[in-house]
Structure 1
Amino acid sequence: SEAEGKSVAGALNFDPTPDAQTLYKAMKGLGTDEQAIIDVLTKRSNVQRQEIAKSFKAQFGKDLIDSLKSELSGNFERLIVALMYSPFKYDAKELYDAMRGERDNATFYVDPALALQDAEALYAAGEKIRGTDEIQFITILCKRSAIHLLKVFEEYQKLAGKSIEDSIKSETCGSLEDAMLAIVKCTRSVHCYFAERLHHALKGAGTDDGTLIRVIVSRSEVDLNLIKAEFKHIAGKPLSSMIM
C-alpha cells in the first residue's frame, strides 16, 4: 500500500504520555537505558517530540532536554538534544519544509541541488578526511526531512561508493553510531527498523524482554501488521511463532 515504508510519526492516535514515561524510566536511577531513548526519539516527528517534552514536564516536573543533557555525554548527547530542537530554531527554508510535513510524507518536492550539497558535506565530513566531523552528520540527519534524506543517501552512495550506513559504522562508534543508524533506518523504512529490533530481541539464548515489550506496545495500534510482514522477511518465520 501507499503507506508502506513511510514513517508513521504523524499517526492520529499519538499519545506522548507513555513515551515520556519510557524516557523517565530510562534515565531514572543508576545508569541510563540509551537504547530506550533512541527507540523513542528516533521514531517520532519533531512536533511529536515537543509534545513528549511537554508531557515529561507535566508528569515529572523536569525539563526533558535538561534531563537528557545531565544523563548523556559527548556527541551522542549532541545528537539526541539536536533531535529535541524545535523546528522554529531552523532557518527559514527548513522551517518551511517542516511546516509542510514532518519526515512522513513522500510527495513533497526535493531540491536535487541541496541533496547533492548535503551528500558532499557528509562525504567531506567523514570519508574524505582523517577523523570525522560528527557534528555535520548530526546536523544533516536531524534537520532534514525523510524524503530529502533519501535523496541525500542516494547521492552519497554515488560519491563515496558505499552506503551511508557503512560510513557511519566505520566513522563512529557506541551510542552515537546506534542513534545515527536508527535515524537512517527509520528514514528508509520505519517498519523494517522495528522488525529488526524485534528480531534482535528474540534471537539467541535469551530474550530482551524490555525491547520486545517496548516495540509491541508502542506499535500495537499503529503499524504492527507491517512490522510483522518485515519480521517474517527478516527471520523467515512469523513473529507469532517466536513469542508464543
Structure 2
Amino acid sequence: MDIRFAVDYTIDILKGLEYIHSKGLIHSDIIGLNVMIVGPRAIIIDTTGARNPSCPRSLGYLRDVENAIKLLNNMLWNNTTFSPEPWKASDEDRCMFNKKTLKKLEKLLKRQDESLRANSKSPMMDTIETLLQDLGIISEELKGLRQPSDSPDSSEDEAYQSYQSDANQKAQLEAYKAEIERERELRKKAERDRMKAEQDRMKAEQENKKLHDKMDALLAKLEMEPKDNGQEGP
C-alpha cells in the first residue's frame, strides 16, 4: 500500500476513535475487517464493539490506539495479519519520499512498539491527539505540502518529543488514578457485601432463637399439664 494512503487512513481511524472515546466508549476491535476504504478515506464501519469499558477507560482508550497503530504497521508492511516488527522503509520508499520524513514514521512506530513491549498491561502509548499531530505532519511532508525538518534533532522535533512525554505521563497518571478508583470501589463493594452477610447471619440467629424459645415454651407447657397414669375411675 502507498505510504501516503496508509498514513491518511490511520488519521481517519484515529479521528473515528477520538469521537467514540468522546462518548465515554471504547471500540476494542480495530482491525482491517472493521474498516472500509472509500477512495482516500477510511471509515470505521463496525461499531458494534463500542461499549462501556470494563477496565479503566484510560486503559481501554490506549488499547484502541495500540490496535490502530498495529493496523498502520500492518498496512505499511502490506500484510493481512498484524506484523510483529515495526515497519522500516525500503530502498524503493527512500527513492520516492524524503528520508527524514520516513525516519519520523519509523521512529513513531518504533516508539509505540517499545512502549508496548516495556509494559504490555499498561502501555504508555502516545495519545490520539499526539498521534494525529505527528501523523498529520508526516502526511503533509509525504505529499510535499510541508518541508521536512532539516534535522531529526531540530527544535521542532524536540518540542514534539516534550509534548509527547507530557501527554504520555498524563495518560499513565490517568490510568493509575482510574485503577486506584476501581480498586477502591471493589473494596467498598466487598465491605458492603460483608456487612450484608453479617446482618443476614445475625437475623438468621435471631430467627433461630425465637424458634427455640417457642419450642422451649411449648415443651414447658406440655410438662405442666396433668399426666394420664392409665388408671380408670371406680
Q: Same fold (TM over 0.5)?
A: no
TM-score, normalising length: structure 2: 0.27
Which structure would you say has the larger RCO, counting Cα contacts within 8 Å and 6 or more residues apart? 1
Over alpha carbons, which structure has the higher Rg? 2
TM-score, normalising length: structure 1: 0.26
